[in-house]
Amino acid sequence: MSRPVAPSPEAVLEWASTVQSTSDLILRRLAGEYHEDAWGFDEEFTEAVFPIFEFLYSTWWRVKVEGAANVPGHGRALLVANHSGAIFPFDGAMIATAIQKEHPLPRWVRAMVLNWAFDLPFVSYILRRLGGVAANPANLGRLLNEDQPVMVFPEGQKGFGKGFADRYRLQRFGRGGFIEVALETGSPIVPVAVVGAEEIYPKIGESKPLARAIGSPYVPITPTFPWLGPLGLLPLPSRWRIEFLEPIDLSGYGPGSSEDRSLVFDLTEQVREQIQEALYRGLVKRGPAFL
């Protein structure tokens, strides 16, 4: 693995200032009134936190984006992406940030989140206000029928918690539940390939005692965590690339097509193969992870 290049002192100071000002705003809001929709999404809260994501996007990870305009500017859309992160799901946050910064018609994107994350009190509060929704077909279908853009990560926990040796090798996409919902709602699918998130927390093992203690499916061991304590939670400054591929139009399939298991399997594999090819392509274009 290449040696990380440390951000400049100015960049670190900018990060600290952004975190401080955003934290102050959040704490003030906790004592007052705020508006959230039926899902718990709080646009004002998201806008307050957004400068932190902008710093990570532009300065810390230096994200490069291709094909942002492939995401529909209005109406329903299902964004299907590879998943990683080991500790925090920054891949979803950077996809949402890319759409805000690079799309001609930026929109807030909802994300399907693993259910166990909502069992963590403070984490649950943050996720809901940033647009996170418990991952299940019913919730996904409702959001798409509301003409929302929604992110899903079919690898689930297997992708999020994969070891460093398996980076950028897509895990199975389950039984294709996201395809069934897309067919039922007539939603276009936009495959998304994220390169860079695999290096922010290189997972080299797991701690089962810690996982049992906090009720988590697993607790990763990385070169910095838990050895450096809270400092070990600081993600490494890898270089990122995000590619939004051409939408897959499902509007031509008739009613009941979601019950065709052969069709669901073929479409699931099509999406998976497109993302895997884009990951290999993105790795070549990015080059070394940190230099």
Domain membership flag for residue 281: yes
Domain membership flag for residue 4: no
Per-10-residue mean pLDDT of the chain, 291 residues long, equals 64 71 66 76 90 95 98 97 85 96 96 80 83 94 97 85 85 91 97 96 82 70 84 92 97 89 96 97 95 81
Domain membership flag for residue 81: yes
Overall pTM surpassing 0.95 (yes/no): no
Structural domain including 205 reads 9-286
Total domains in the chain come to: 1
Domain membership flag for residue 156: yes
5: nearest Cα among 85, 59, 53: 59
Q: What is the pLDDT of residue 263?
A: 96
What's at 279, amino acid-wise?
L
Domain membership flag for residue 2: no
Q: What is the pLDDT of residue 6?
A: 62
Peptide bond into 226 cis (omega under 30): yes
* Per-residue exposure over 201-226, b if at least 16 CB sit within 10 Å of its own CB, e if not: bbbeeeeeeeeeeeebebbbbbebbe
Q: Per DSSP, what are the bridge partners of residue 66?
A: 243
Q: What is the pLDDT of residue 291?
A: 81
Q: What is the CATH number of the domain that holds 100?
A: 3.40.1130
Q: What is the pLDDT of residue 4?
A: 58
Contact status, residue 81 vs residue 71, Cβ threshold 8 Å? no
Q: What is the pLDDT of residue 11?
A: 72
Domain membership flag for residue 291: no
Domain membership flag for residue 1: no
